[in-house]
């Protein structure tokens, strides 16, 4: 019994990423826009600016015989393929594993590019969790999971988030919440379709903390939404020079 408990404890410990002071990026494809991640610190919802929200999105995979572990394995392997068109997830070759850092290239309203990233802070056979870095529009933990409920497989995205800075808070109120909801609804529908299921998405939204944290207003200095449009031309110019 003790040996089993030790093995279980070791497995749980291995599923968590080790603490880091700064993020390090490696293995990003040449065509990716790699900005606002290297050297940044992690920032969870406690260090964000805006109202704190918990958002839960669920899809029931009726009739699917795959185990939750098999569903998560497929999700990890095809993660960005389930995203809406125009958005890319550049993960490391080792895949979605504890401690790995991925670069995100996102398409914002008006087709404005945004380059940011996430770190995998937890990953096992049934779930994985991302944490956002400084500059990401959301200060968030986002957990992806699969489980059984009433003899049916369920896949879920659950985010605990708040806007990182005042600009992001304005953006969330104007269009960001709607865009965020559409993003994860599309993702879950695409995941369900991968298993041959046409499904509707259940959504729950709760305001956990209505306060604004003005002490975090300075986060805007790292804003990827502001920095990406400014630095992207320099990034592309450097690429052209290296290739010439």
pLDDT at 1 over 90: no
Percent of the chain with pLDDT over 70: 89
pLDDT at site 17: 96
Q: CA 45 to CA 58: how far, in whole Å?
A: 22
Tell the residue number behind the tokens 């990003």, with chain if given.
28
Domain edges within the chain: 17-233
Q: pLDDT tens digits, residue range 152-162? A: 999 999 999 99
Average pLDDT over residues 94-102: 92
Average pLDDT over residues 73-84: 96
pLDDT at site 96: 95
pLDDT tier at 238, thresholds 50, 70, 90: low
pLDDT at site 232: 63
pLDDT at 112 over 80: no
pLDDT at site 173: 96
pLDDT tier at 229, thresholds 50, 70, 90: confident
Average pLDDT over residues 144-149: 97
pLDDT at 6 over 60: no
pLDDT at site 28: 85
Q: pLDDT tens digits, residue range 21-72? A: 999 998 888 778 888 999 999 999 999 999 999 999 999 999 999 999 999 9
**CATH fold of 17-233, please?**
Alpha-D-Glucose-1,6-Bisphosphate; Chain A, domain 4 (3.30.530)
pLDDT at site 239: 56
pLDDT at site 34: 86
């Amino acid at each position: 019994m003790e040996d089993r408990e030790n093995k279980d404890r070791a497995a749980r410990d291995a599923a968590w990423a080790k603490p880091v002071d700064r993020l390090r990026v490696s293995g990003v494809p040449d065509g990716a826009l790699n900005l606002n991640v290297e050297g940044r610190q992690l920032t969870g919802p406690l260090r964000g600016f805006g109202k704190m929200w918990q958002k839960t999105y669920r899809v029931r995979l009726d009739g699917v015989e795959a185990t939750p572990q098999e569903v998560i394995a497929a999700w990890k392997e095809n993660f960005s393929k389930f995203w809406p068109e125009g958005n890319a997830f550049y993960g490391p070759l080792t895949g979605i594993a504890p401690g790995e850092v991925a670069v995100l290239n996102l398409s914002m309203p008006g087709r404005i590019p945004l380059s940011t990233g996430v770190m995998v802070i937890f990953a096992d056979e049934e779930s994985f969790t991302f944490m956002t870095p400084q500059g990401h529009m959301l200060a968030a933990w986002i957990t992806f999971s699969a489980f059984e409920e009433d003899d049916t497989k369920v896949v879920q995205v659950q985010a605990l988030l708040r806007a990182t800075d005042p600009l992001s808070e304005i953006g969330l109120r104007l269009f960001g919440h709607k865009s965020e909801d559409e993003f994860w609804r599309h993702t879950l529908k695409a995941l369900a379709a991968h298993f041959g299921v046409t499904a509707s998405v259940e959504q729950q939204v709760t305001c956990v903390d209505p306060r604004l944290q003005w002490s975090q207003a300075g986060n805007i200095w790292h804003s990827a939404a502001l920095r990406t449009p400014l630095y992207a031309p320099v990034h592309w110019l450097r690429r052209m020079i290296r290739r010439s």
